[in-house]
Amino acid sequence: MQVFQKIPISILSTLKHLILELIYNMIAYSLALAALASTVTVTCVSSTNTNTNTNTNAKLSKVIQRQLDTGARVYVESDTGRQMIFHGVNTVVKGYPWVPLTTEFDIDISLNENDHINLSNLGVNIYRLGSMWPGIEPNEGEYNATYIDSLRIITREASNYGIYTILDMHQDVLSEKYCGEGIPAWAAITDDITFPSPLDETYTDKSNIDGFPTRQDCSKYNWPKYYNTYNAGLAFQNLYTNVNNVRDAWGKMWIHLATELGSVEDSILAYELINEPWSGDNMNNPKLFIPSVADKTYLQPTYDSLANDIRTIDNTTLIMFAAVTWDDVVPCGFEHPPGGDEYASQSVFAYHYYNKPQFLPKIYFHQRNADAERLQVGQILTEFERSNVDEDMTDDLYVEVANYADKYLLSWTNWEYKTFCKENEESINSDSQAAAYGSCKTGYGSHNWLYNDNGSIISDTAKKLARTYTQYTAGNIINMIFDPITSDYEFIYEHNVDIKEPTIIYANKQYNYPNGVLIDIIPNILDYTNTNGSENHYEFVMNTNRMKKFNFKNGEKIKIKMTAK
């Protein structure tokens, strides 16, 4: 420290900003690579997929968690005790009207019955639905019933096709004030006249439509760089520390959403408190770049406050919580789940994998699993890179990450199902950050990832999404391995004879088993058939006669192998 005392303050200040800029550039640039996609304008079409062999349920059961000997928890169907695994997608609209289109099918922006049929056929049984604070509460204290009705319509229709919902309060750079989105402008508390200092000189131009910085100014930098501004960092910190009672308002918003949706809809799996939380005012407090410091200093008390608010209304629905996004190989800084250890059974540690800022998936997933076990909570991978649109299974990060998810028996939601934004000539030529639908500004999905322009499904993408996996298990899962090249699947579990409902495996005929499937059960004590007429779902039930023949005991292991003919 004595050496630094001899250096002039001005030089120290310059060095400080250079170091911060270097650190942040590494983070921001890698986030941008993971999230940015191209902008394409298309017209509405009808989906040409006519396959309706879908595993439908009139009513989904509430999902709870069961603790394992390791300390971690797994998802369990409350009515039956069956363990559950979820595979799904993100469905987040990052600008007005803040919710997908429900009135007709569109390859970029819809989420309606056609979408639910297609998603269910591809093995999706969950999605992470953007539940956007500006849509819920555009003006302080005034809740938008129409918007919440739209969320209700989507979640109820999804449940008819066996799809659960995560209500995700999504954000990227927090607000349009900072060239991002996430919370209403009234909740973003800073002096905005200097934005985006120190990244650039002040953006003095404001949109004539909404008064935010113009899209022309915002486009000067890849969007994650705007985290590296005094205003954005301070706004996060003010939100966390309840300046002007804004954290209280955040909690009230969650109370309202829990009252209207989560506490009355069993298909709501969880509330995700905030997407990719930033660390706070790290421009003035560089220690916040240390992940555990940021988690402990601001996120822990914030999550405790929000969880306590939600639990006044809903003591059952799971709460998902995330650490800062650059905690690659180190433990997260949380000392307990949101609300305290007594809520561990209702808490889920949510995290993302992008390369970069994450690096080696082997180390990353081992550490995140250790975090969940230490906190004795569940876990879920709520974002990772979507697949390449090709048939190559060997050089695709999506495939690699999905394989690791199987290894750790992780549920996941892939980023992102559609673009969920659409430009037209008028919006492109305007000065507003808004698109004609949503906002094509921060990270969004890819046009023609799953659908061609005529609405038909792109088979290469569909095959990668339609991985074989066990959705419901009459017992405890031990191991699950799927080979996306050969479609071979091996599943081992401990069978609970007290669970009478079937084990259900999703195995897509069109993309993985077009010539049929060979099923081998060891010991051979299960009968199997297709579920509810669906050619993509197999249900396995105990044959009591063969159970006695093999002298099978409760809790013993069963192996199911599926091989393409």
Largest CA-CA distance found in the chain, in angstroms, rounded:
85
Q: What pLDDT score was predicted for residue 54?
A: 53
How far CA 266 is from CA of 343, 413, 501, 510, in Å, comes to 19, 19, 19, 31
Please work out, in degrees rounded to the nearest 5, the angle formed at the alpha carbon of residue 397 by the alpha carbons of 91 and 42.
40
User: DSSP 3-state assignment of 285?
Assistant: coil
**Contact present, 4 and 266 (Cβ < 8 Å):** no
Q: What pLDDT score was predicted for residue 516?
A: 96
Query: Is 276 part of the annotated catalytic residue set?
Result: yes
For 162-284, list the strands marked E by DSSP.
Answer: 164-168, 268-272
Q: What pLDDT score was predicted for residue 1?
A: 34
**Contact present, 320 and 350 (Cβ < 8 Å):** yes
Instruction: Note the pTM of the prediction, 2 decimals.
Output: 0.91
The rounded distance, in Å, linking the Cα atoms of 292 and 282 is 13
CA of residue 213 relative to chain centroid, distance: 28
Q: What pLDDT score was predicted for residue 47?
A: 54
Q: What pLDDT score was predicted for residue 72?
A: 83
Q: Which of 276, 385, 423, 539 is catalytic?
A: 276
**Contact present, 278 and 232 (Cβ < 8 Å):** yes
Please work out, in degrees rounded to the nearest 5, the angle formed at the alpha carbon of residue 433 by the alpha carbons of 428 and 436.
50
Pairing label, strands 411-414, 378-384: parallel
Q: What pLDDT score was predicted for residue 35?
A: 36
Q: What pLDDT score was predicted for residue 255?
A: 98
The rounded distance, in Å, linking the Cα atoms of 440 and 443 is 8
Q: What pLDDT score was predicted for residue 19?
A: 41
**Contact present, 320 and 346 (Cβ < 8 Å):** no
Sign of the four-CA dihedral 429, 435, 441, 447? negative
**Contact present, 273 and 311 (Cβ < 8 Å):** no
DSSP 377-395: -EEEEEEEPPPPSSS-SSS
Query: What residues of the chain score a pLDDT lower than 50?
Result: 1-44, 46, 48, 50, 52, 55-57
